[in-house]
Amino acid sequence: MLKYYDPQVNELIKQEEARQASTIRLIPSENYVSQNVMQATGSCLTNKYAEGYPNKRYYEGQQVTDLIEDLAKQRAGDVFRAQHVNVQSYSGSIANMAAYLALADPGDTIMGLSLPDGGHLTHGWKVSATGKVFKSVQYPVNYDTDLFDYDQIAEIAKENKPKILIAGTSAYPRKIDFKAFREIADQVDAYLVCDIAHIAGLVAGGAHESPMEAADVVTTTTHKSLRGPRGALIMCKEEFAKAIDKAVFPGMQGGPHMHTISGIAVAMKEAGTESFKEYAHQVVKNAQALGEKLQEFGFKLVSGGTDNHLLLLDMRSKNISGKKMAKALDRAGIVTNCNTVPNDPAPPFNPSGVRIGTPAVTTRGMKESDMAEIAEMINDTADNLEDLQAIDRIGKRVRFFCSRFPLPKSFIHSEE
């Protein structure tokens, strides 16, 4: 037992568990997985090498792993209505690189939303391998509205003729019109890759339009709003299946993490339920309730609100840097991250915004009225930024608040 063999690591895991239970977790890319996902992810499958794909492996002893991988693929295919699913990518970053390498050659042009305007590193940002291996063109959001300007994106695409157009975001609070991206891709004869890492749970639960019809390839992480283990899916039309599978293995990686894949299978079972649909819609309702209350307190929201699971606070309206605000919130036990806002004049390591989201707090059972309380605590923190005693007072309120939403026993690391 870990507690006897390695009390040091056991103690650290317990401390992290306590931190997760006693803080308000508002990082939009984080969640709490169920005990069932946790159990599958921590199983004997971690002991198995399974290079290749079901029925085409390079190692023997695949009687069970083949069945698990097929089950994960079938369930993800049912949830997202995908013709083909690859469940092996180690993470969303690897999935994106594999998708690009399946559809384009090094040196070809890819075009994605710029990182400071809400895109992801792996959409071609210059420090990412995706921005070094490919010629990368980035499109902005419209700085008057903070929204996608589909005419402007079409113009940039026509000028640069990308091989791949990427539609996907890490910090964009509004709906994405995947059909509009399809039209742009068609105009310039580009492939369309939709990266739904952030909104996958909303798509699975019917709270956001699915990109499956519009896209050639859809990538997603499994651990954000989708509430699975840390991993990724690549989904595509049948015509791209072979190229995608080859790009993942042997293109990007060796043996798949079968323990993660079994956790993905369990998460996909959960994502196909009625209660997950309710969860997805509640995530959006909570984000909207939180946004409205914060606006009443004078916070400025990028784009004026949200249609999804996240809010981007432009802290310039409070004359506070994003980093300072995120640090003060963390001290009080409200965990967020600082983030650039569109056209941010501040540097990326000290940006103007704070990004917050509701997937994790919604998993704990919080509802709109609880969001109003969270907004009060955020506002109290902003008003008392330099006052450590006040921050500690807010911290006490946070801990009391969290005790009303205990993590179900099922979430908790077992010592038995």
Q: Is there a catalytic annotation at residue 49?
A: yes
Closest-approach residue to ligand PLP (CB):
92
Which of the ranges 70-78, 85-93, 174-182, 317-325 carries the binding residues for ligand PLP, by CB under 6 A? 85-93
- Minimal distance, residue 89 CB to ligand PLP, in Å: 9
413 is in an annotated binding site: no
Told to check if 71 binds ligand PLP by CB under 6 A, we report no
239 annotated to bind ligand: no
Q: Which of residues 169-188 bind ligand PLP (CB under 6 A)?
A: 170
Please report, for residues 91, 158, 292, 299, 338, the alpha-carbon distance to residue 296 in angstroms, rounded to integers and kept in the order given. Answer: 38, 42, 6, 7, 21
Which of these is catalytic: 23, 109, 219, 221?
Answer: 221
Secondary structure letter of residue 174 according to DSSP: S
Q: How far is the CB of 195 from ligand PLP (least distance, A)?
A: 5
Q: If we measure between CA atoms, which residue out of 98, 81, 103 comes closest to residue 256? A: 98
Q: Which is nearer to ligand PLP, 348 or 406 (CB)?
A: 348
Interaction of residue 130 with ligand PLP, rule CB under 6 A: no
Interface pick for ligand PLP out of 168, 173, 201, 228 (rule CB under 6 A): 168
Query: According to CB under 6 A, which one of 48, 73, 75, 120 is a site residue for ligand PLP?
Result: 120
Residue of 146, 195, 314, 344 marked catalytic: 195
Contact 171, 310 (CB under 8 A): yes
CB of 90 to ligand PLP, least distance (A): 8
Q: Is 29 in the site for ligand PLP (CB under 6 A)?
A: yes
Residue 340 · residue 212 · CB < 8 Å:
no
Q: Is the dihedral of CA 380, 313, 19, 284 positive or negative?
A: positive
- C-alpha distances in Å from residue 266, one per residue of 48, 62, 106, 219: 18, 19, 36, 19
Residues in a beta bridge with 191: 164
Interface with ligand PLP: number of residues (CB under 6 A): 13
Please check if 115 is assigned to a binding site. yes
The catalytic position among 14, 17, 30, 49 is 49
Annotated active-site residue 51? The verdict is yes
Contacting ligand PLP within 193-232 (CB under 6 A): 195, 197-198, 221
Q: How far is residue 381's CA from residue 411's CA, in Å, rounded to a whole number?
A: 29
119 is in an annotated binding site: yes
Is residue 221 part of the annotated active site? The answer reads yes
Residue among 132, 131, 142, 201 at smallest CA distance from 166: 131
CB of 312 to ligand PLP, least distance (A): 13
Which SS3 state, helix, strand or coil, does residue 311 take?
A: strand
Query: Annotated catalytic residue: which of 17, 30, 51, 330?
Result: 51
Q: Which is nearer to ligand PLP, 118 or 395 (CB)?
A: 118
d(CA 33, CA 41): 10
The answer to whether 46 is a known catalytic residue is no
Half-sphere exposure of 259 (CA within 13 A, CB side): 11
Torsion angles phi and psi, residue 226, rounded to 5: -75, -15
Residue 121 assigned to a binding site: yes
CB of 406 to ligand PLP, least distance (A): 28
Phi, psi angles (nearest 5°) of residue 291: -60, -45
Told to judge if 381 belongs to the known catalytic residues of this protein, a careful annotator would answer no
Using CA atoms, how far apart are residues 294 and 311, in angstroms rounded to an integer?
10
Which residue of the set 163, 224, 318, 364 is catalytic?
A: 224
Instruction: Transcribe 53-95 into DSSP letters.
Output: ETTEESSS--TTHHHHHHHHHHHHHHHHT-SEEE---SSHHHH
Q: Per the structure block, which two tokens stand in for 176?
A: 């994405």
- Whether 219 is a known active-site residue: answer no
Grouping H, G, I as helix, E, B as strand and the rest as coil, residue 334 is strand
Nearer Cβ to ligand PLP, position 29 or 358? 29
Residues taking part in catalysis:
49, 51, 195, 221, 224, 230
Q: Using CB under 6 A, list all residues that contact ligand PLP.
A: 29, 91-93, 96, 120, 122, 168, 170, 195, 197-198, 221
The annotated binding site for (6S)-5,6,7,8-tetrahydrofolate is made up of: 115, 119-121, 238
